[in-house]
Structure 1
């Protein structure tokens, strides 16, 4: 029993430390990004903002690995780096999803909730990176199409919010709409985890969580630009349901601790954690 209490206390400290680090790093970058968003012209500001977002999130995920809060296997995303622009469409179980993709895919444009663009921790950095607000559908689609046609990958969560109905929420038609007008494919991405409720939409922020929480990303099917947006949304939803139905990661058996340690060291040298 004492060991169980010790582990629970250790994991609670890891969780709070991880969230505190995210807040501190977000606030520090916002204090720098705020004046830069006014001083820099659009193009250099955009490049600096997106590069800095990727670097910041990469460091943050390494820190989560180092403190033992999470383990990440994001290597599948590396295949997107040199590919033509597409809509990156992942499922959305947790708050860390966008961070994982942005940390690994350089200079990606991201569709964000409008309230996050005003958030004290992330708003200034998002504005510097010229991320796209989702409060106006017409403006969002127009800007997203411009980004993709200009050669940038676009990160868009088809669920519109974090998953509340396993295995995936009802999908919106936005990804297909943008793909149709940008004449770009939709690359599905699956985020699998050992704890689907961790930092989820309906989960308490400080819920008791056994750590490390493991994440693995894999690439799914790449869909051609659709002609019928509504039909494409239904097809995409069925595909996500089928792929995610039995995709939850499970804790690996005893004896993998050494491999976990090696994977953490690999991450610190630029690999996955």
Structure 2
């Protein structure tokens, strides 16, 4: 039985990786066709909702394997919460997928190199996602986006976690909050698995099943003192993520 379970778990892992790549590639082709045909406000709305539904379908597919479990229900409280900066910790590559899968109007801050990736570029452009290459441009675009009621997904660690419970926080979250006068919603992604964390080999099989739970934390108001706000956020996340799941 154990050898069969090992093979099944390995196939689940391969399926998860290839299925996500295929979904992204198909949507990239569709997005490329839609982009010049739609007015900007409509293409952003369609692009974001399509990504949400696609990611939700993807996570449902993983759940059907019986080897992945996702508890994301608390995110539904944010659907009608208005403009917010969504600030989660970042344990693995699936973090953005989990959060976006529940929320229909999220602008995601992405690394510049991902904005040029064949799997992500067209879909990200259609959805109006923000590259992180220029902090000034990112702040400007985020402020414009908030004016249309959107929410911004921005990882305050800047990259996936390498030092438990969290990496040192960057100041861009507080800077955007201050410039846009939009609150920061703390979000905690909890899992006991290191799968797809920083440095995890892509084809290394994790121990299955894997469980992910997302819960909401405090909401922080903008502050003029960015250093103090960043320190408060980092301390709060460190304390909360050391609590038992």
Q: Same fold (TM over 0.5)?
A: yes
The Cα shift of 1:109 comes to: 1.0
For 1:10-159, list aligned pairs within 5 A. Answer: 10-159=8-157
2:190 paired residue number: 192
TM-score by length of 1: 0.87
* Distance (whole Å) between structure 2 residues aligned to residue 59 and residue 130 of structure 1: 21
Rounded to whole Å, the distance in 2 between the matches of 1:29 and 1:84 is 27
**195, 202, 220: which one pairs with 1:205?**
202
Secondary structure in 1 aligned to 2:137? helix
Q: Shift of residue 205 of structure 1?
A: 1.0
Structure 2 residue runs without a partner (length 5+): none
Give per-residue Cα distances to partners, 1:109-139, cap 9 Å, x unaligned.
Answer: 1111111111111111010001000011110
Distance in 2 of aligned mates of 1:224 and 1:155: 16
| 1:176 paired residue number | 174
Could you say which residue in structure 1 is the equivalent of 2:6?
8
Give the superposition deviation at 1:84: 2.2
Q: What stretches of structure 1 of length at least 5 have no aligned partner?
A: 250-273
Matches of 1:41 and 1:82 in 2, distance apart? 24
TM-score, length-normalised on structure 2? 0.97
Distance 2:92 2:46 in 1: 26
Q: Is this contact kept in 2: 1:18–1:69, CA < 8 A? A: no
1:160 aligns with 2:158: yes
Range that drifts further, 174-183 or 147-156: 147-156
What is the DSSP-based 3-state SS (H/G/I as helix, E as strand, rest coil) of the residue aligned with 1:188? Answer: strand
Q: What is the Cα-based RMSD across aligned positions, in Å?
A: 1.1
SS in 1 for 2:195: coil
Report how far residue 61 of structure 1 moved.
0.4
Give the whole-Å Cα distance in 2 for the aligned partners of 1:245 and 1:56: 32
- Partner residue of 1:270? none
For residue 35 of structure 1, give the secondary structure of its aligned residue in structure 2. helix
